[in-house]
Structures are given as structure tokens and as C-alpha cells.
Chains A and B, each alone.
Chain A
Amino acid sequence: MNVAADKVDPIHQFHLNEIFPLEIGGYDLAFTNSSLFMVVTVVVAGAFFYFSTSGRALVPSRWQSSAEILYEFTASMLKDAAGSHGMKFFPFVFTVFMFVLTANLLGLFPYFFTITSHIIVTFALAMLVIGIVVVYGLYKHGFGFFKLFVPSGVPMVLLPLVVGIEVISFLSRPISLSVRLFANMLAGHITLKVFAGFVVSLSAMGAVGVAGAVLPLAMAVAITALELLVAALQAYVFAILTCMYLADAVHPGH
């Protein structure tokens, strides 16, 4: 591998490297750097809540109050979207939100792998959400769940067309949900890497280059701040859309 080319190749950061290979029944189940960072994400999020809530003071410490803020933020988000019936999904929504948020934020560290920049990860999360919506909706409401696809007040003639459109619209939800998170993270990290690469290649060109490298360096700093915002915002968007889709499962069409 060419080390110098790796430094400026903006895609290189998304490479999957096998840490130790594993094959079960013909499936490649190798433990990759992506799996490693998923484990790290879970451990970091879990440790954060374990240690921040271990004090349980009446007057919360900084760690405890940040954990409480996250809890109350998610709880009020879910309650606003799905009502008090939706609160049974709170553990799920909170887990998804914390996983995505922690993964996005960990991805901002240099040399860290961003698991949410791979569409299969975000798509698996989105399919989990939609799967829960469909399964719970069918379990709770039976065929009444399909009223979701039949808007009221539509003439019989137009009904097949409208139902088709609504079904496609429903099926497009996991795709738009996953593509949005994935593409935001991918685009942000590529942009960051490109500007950082400019700094490296410009500063290799002598004194003038070093002077010129200040501009992309400033840009890289600014984009890092923007990426911090995007990381939090996309986790929020993912969680709030999860809440809204769960609301459809809790109360379809009435």
C-alpha cells in the first residue's frame, strides 16, 4: 500500500479491515474495524450511563445531569410524537438514539471509524425500526393496521392508485431514513478529509505552500464544528423519525 496516497485519499477512511477472520457455515462473519467500533460505541454509551447514574445524588453532578437531560429529551420527544401509549417503546428509541449519537460523535475523532457512514449499518437500523412498526401494528390492530394506507374520503375509483402510492411511500421510509443518516456522515467525513488533505499536500510545497495551507486548515476547523452539529442533528432526526413511525404503529388511521 502506498502510504502517501492513503494520507490524501478521502475514501480510505471507510475501508473495512478484518481484525480476525471468522467463517461460519459459509458466511463471512469476520470481526472488522466496523464491528470493533460498534462494540466501542455500545461500551462508551453503556459506561457513560453506568457511571453517570451511579451517584444518584438529589442534586445531580454534571455527569448525572447530562444523563438526565438526554433521558428527558428523548422521553419528551417520544411522548410528543406517540403519546403516552408510545412510552413502551422508550427503551428502544433511547437505545437507538444513544447508539447513533455515540457512533456519530466517536466518528469525529481522527483515525476513528465512523460506523454510520456505511449504508448497511444505517439500513439495518432503519429496517429494525420499520420491522417493529409493522409487527407491532399488525399484532395490536390486526388488519386495522392497513387503514394506514387508505386515506379517508377518497373515491372508490381512485382507491387502488392512492393505496399503491401510499404503500410505496411507506416502503420508502426505511430507505430515506437510512440514506439520510449515511449520506450526511459520508459526505461530511469526505469533505473534512479533502480539506485536511489540502493542508498536507500544500504544506509539502515549501514556505508559500505552508502560508497557503492556512486557508484549508481554517476551513477544516470550521467543518469539524459543522460536523459536530450534523452528528448530533442526524441522531436527533433519526430518533424523531423513529418516534413518528412508531406513532403510526400505535395509532394507525384514527
Chain B
Amino acid sequence: MLEVSGITQIFGGVTALDSVSFSITRGDITGVIGPNGAGKTTLFNIISGIYRQTAGTVTLEGKDVTGLSPDRLARLSMVRTFQNIELFGSMTLLENVMVGMHTKSSSGLLACALKMPWSIAEERRIRAGAMKWLEFTGITDLADHTAGSLPFGKGRLLEIARALAVEPRIILMDEPAAGLNSQETLALAELIKRIRDLGITVVLVEHDMELVMDICDRIVVLNLGRKLAEGTPREIQESPEVIAAYLGDDD
């Protein structure tokens, strides 16, 4: 589904990523792990079109998407969430998710301003769709609260609901469990599995080893900008190189 080939990223004098390649199978939950500074978020930023890579290609469903802007990628059904959640703080939860449905709607500036009948109908559809995704993540009771006032755990769920509203075929999550307590992390695991059951391919960068080993079908390990290993959770747990690099760490 997603192929990353020879991705290299050099910032100034620092080589953040060195010829990283791997591929993601459709329908899998894939984890990308590695010690801090391994280049995981940089990799995500390149795949999701936020950074320009120094070399290498990204292929999505057979199409070369290297260097495409994030909004083009959203229209190609790829979406991502952020490590430091980037909520639209001045809008309500419902409005946040409604923005997620931007690619699923099309009323332009004039149609909206002149309240053309088709734009009114579309608005109703957007609102209903957004509610549905709030329900999916279990935060409907807060629908009219301002996103800026949310506790962190709920904010994470909102960001996920918002990303799902794009109806992506693949979602990249950057450390979704960061800052969550163990109860919230378990709920997150369930949520991710339910997302996979919808047919969406999930790729996550994570530090929480229990979560990763629990739900991931495959794992890619990065260290110091290079791919160290790739395989099933069992294979990774038993790989001597990975253990040498860092396993048993954190949390």
C-alpha cells in the first residue's frame, strides 16, 4: 500500500535519515519504533508532505507521491495526526471534525456565501457525518465544547476523529499514546483495532512498547536514522540487534 524507498534527509550538517526503505501492507497495523532521535517523526513529516526529503521516494497505492503537499495527499486518502496535537482551539469539537470533512464536500466560496440550496444540504450532511465520527471515538457529549479547553486525552481522541472524517485509506499516527495514562492507552488500542476493522491501514510511531507489541502486525525499527530491523512483533522482540539497540527501555 505504502512504499518508502531510500529516504534520506540531511538538515544542515546532520543526517537525520539515511536511505530508509520499507513497505506497508494494506490493512495492517504497522508500528515504527526506535530510540529518541532515531528520525521517526522526520520520516512521518516526509511521508505526509510536510518536509521535502533530500533523496528517496514515497509511493502510495502504486502512485509516486513524493513531495506532494499535505492537502493533495489528503485527497489521495492519506492523513496523519500529530505528536503535539494540533487542534483548532477556537472551534468546537464538532466544528473540528467538520473540517475533517473538507475533502468530502465541495461548496465553494460563492456557493457558501450565497447559501445556495446544495450548499445547505451539504452542510447538513457534513454535520451528520462529523457527529458520526465523534460517536466512533466516544466523545459526543463534548460536541459543543471549545476544543481549546479539552483535557489532553480527549484532545487526542478529537484529533483522531477529525482525521477519520477524511475517510482515509491510510492513517499515520505520531505517538498517539504519548501523555495518556494506562487506562486511556488500553482504550486507544481498542480504537485503533476498530479503525483497522474499517479497512483503514494504520501506521504508528510509538514509544509505548506494550501497545506496539499488542496491536501491531508488523514493526519497523529505526535507529540513528537507519532502518535496523523489520518484522513481526515476535521477530523484533527476539532480534539481537534490536535488543542491543534499546529494547526493554522507557515508559
Q: Decide whether A and B assemble into one complex.
A: no
A residues lining the B interface (CB < 8 Å): none
